[in-house]
Structure 1
Amino acid sequence: MINNLNAQIDESTLTSQHHENGKFINETPTAPTTLAKTLKIMWRYIRENRIDTEPNQALPMKVVSRDLLDGLSNSEIHVIKLGHSSFILKVLGEYWLLDPVFSDRASPFSFIGPKRFQPTPISIANLPPIDRVLISHNHYDHLDKNAIIALKEKVKHFYVPMGVEGDLKRFGVDENNISSFDWWQSTSLGNSMVTFTPTQHFSGRGLSDANTTLWGSWVIEANGQKLFFSGDSGYFNGFKEIGDRFGPFDLTLIETGAYDKDWHDIHMTPEESVQAHLDLRGQVMMPIHNGTFDLAFHAWYEPLNRVSAAAAQEHVALCTPIVGETVTLGKAYPTTPWWK
């Protein structure tokens, strides 16, 4: 069943075991974000010698056109990477977006903050009418206010974590076009089904709204095939539970990037990303959340190098499309090491 929350979160109406004192919590407690911790990280950005945080040349990309999208079959699941954790899917003829971020910066400001390494392969104006938009959580690199405002008239329905409906309504989205989900809630969408599943992360878009909205991942089932979209997460036992309940998955889209020792509990290392894929009982893994924004201290290409080595060691099949390249579930998967 869908849990529709068309008003601000009211703690008295919630039955979630992971909601306490007006805040959502992880199943395993994670370190809180404190002023001291924030200042420490800022000091590191000032003092540390960061190497290769951005590409020094143009990255490969395939331009996506409306004709290309319309030419994809209506009997399969097609996945096209738009950059970072943003995707356009064609699911049995329907157009879906996952965490659509189109702005130049993953930031509340247009003049400061992490800037894109390359543009998206298609503009919002050139997108077809969108049947469904799935959001994992409300951080700026996953929930893009300007993109939602530009998309709202061409999207039939938005599917969001508990509380994020408040963000969308503030962006001007009609509340009747939003459905909000708690962990493990599912809904049937004609020939497909989506389930909102747990992650180990946090939420917030400002100084006063930390963890007032939920975060999570999505399981997509259609045509006898299954796709997992991780959103953001630290490594935790929840991946195995999701795999036990819904696996095996034909393709897993797993966060692989923006990790660091100072926030290890809420972002995985590449080696942990491979283990998460194994826990999920995935058949093929696509590393996401990399190659678009500078969000950590590592080199921009390091996550892809490390995940490739870990996958080879664990005999995991990787799918590594360039931005704009079409991946069709069950067909030959691209494996080019484009970051090299």
Structure 2
Amino acid sequence: MGVPPSSVSPSGNRAKEDRAVLLPPNVRGASSGSTVFDKRGAVDAFVLDNIDKALIGQLLIDGKVTNRELAQRVGISESAASVRIRKLVDDGVLVFTALIDWEAAGFEWFIVCRIRTRVRPRRDVAEDIGDLPGCEAVAIVLGSHDILGYFLAVDRAELNAIIDALSGIDGIAALDVELATETAVSASGRQLFLAVDAPPIRLPAPRIELDDLDLAVLQALVEDGRQSSRRMARQLGVSEGTVRARSARLTQAGLAHIVAMVEPVALGMAGVIASLSIRVDRRYLDSTLSALMAMPNVVFGARCVGNFDLHLTITGTDPHELMEFVGIRVQSVEGVLETDTLLFVTVLRFSPYLKRLNGLGSDHPK
């Protein structure tokens, strides 16, 4: 945990100081590195048997279930369950962490940037984009655009600073910006862990007052959401009851949610990932978004103002499945007029920690 002495906006002007900044764990994942979906690498390194998959399935339902109860559900000994879980964690297949609600953390804007490049290598441009404050994800993509970036901004001043900074990067030929008025993560999206060069987790203006102990508890939960209150209490020098009370307050306020997540490539959840921008008949906007968010291939959805009405992140086992999903299932949803698909080729930055937590327990935003 750390609180920065100051924050500087992309334009160089001093911005409001963040209340706190949490440090992302150094997670060894099967997708670590910039080339995320190279099946010649990570996928073949992990062989999950039926017991592993059963353990993961139970933990995705309840990441805080005890090893004793987990062993009973799966039909193995408690010690065997402990050993298998530790191996899954050590191999980077299974992650226990706390998701932070970006709106409850104090951000006002979620920004989707679709970028075309010229002359300069796309990777060089993408690296410069990833270095900008506020960048939560940047990827080289295949399709109508060359680079896709996701940003979070505290207020309109920071939003304008981000756009100004992007406009000044050498090699950007065209910048298409969509502002999300509503975002949601599906049930499958909350299970998918992908971390590549994750930036610090900013809490610019949390909706609840946080003291140093609250921040220490939150940092500990981000690092290991499954660790016991007793262990955290020993590390922080407070009582176990105090830790439990602070953890409950963070979750009840909607700021954090403890989850188990799985590495998408290792578990076969995603061979490929793409972004899907959709123009919709405005009469059907709400029903269209709800229908799409209920589909298992959809992990993230945003209702946008800009060139497109909706922006989705979708997964598939391979490009053929993905294109079939878009061409048949998505196109058949009432209200869908036009789609544009960008296939992720190389991910240079991706943070799994800041997500909207509304609608937990359902597959669509409330």
The two structures have a TM-score, normalised by structure 1, of 0.26
Larger relative contact order (Cα-Cα within 8 Å, sequence gap ≥ 6): 2
The two structures have a TM-score, normalised by structure 2, of 0.25
Q: Which has the greater radius of gyration?
A: 2
Q: Where is the helix percentage greater, Structure 1 or Structure 2?
A: 2
